[in-house]
Amino acid sequence: MAAFPPEHELHKRRLGRNVGVGVTLGLFIVLVFALTVVKVTRGDPMQAFDHSVRPEMATEEGQ
């Protein structure tokens, strides 16, 4: 039965860096999710530009 060789110092540094990147990515995902929840629960109608004329989006000068 073979034993695992001792962990090299490089692997310890790489692990710390990977944990930092993972935490940063997790915080970014939480931020995007929170902004999405706030936007959806505000109740404002979400309309995008879809190349069609809608009266509720027309400005006063364009009428």
Helix or strand or coil: residue 58? coil
Instruction: Name the band, by pLDDT with cuts 50, 70 and 90, for residue 52.
Output: confident
How far is it, in rounded angstroms, from Cα 54 to Cα 63? 11
The string of pLDDT tens digits covering residues 40-49 is 888 776 667 7
The string of pLDDT tens digits covering residues 19-30 is 999 999 999 999
**Which residue type, as a one-letter code, is found at position 44?**
D
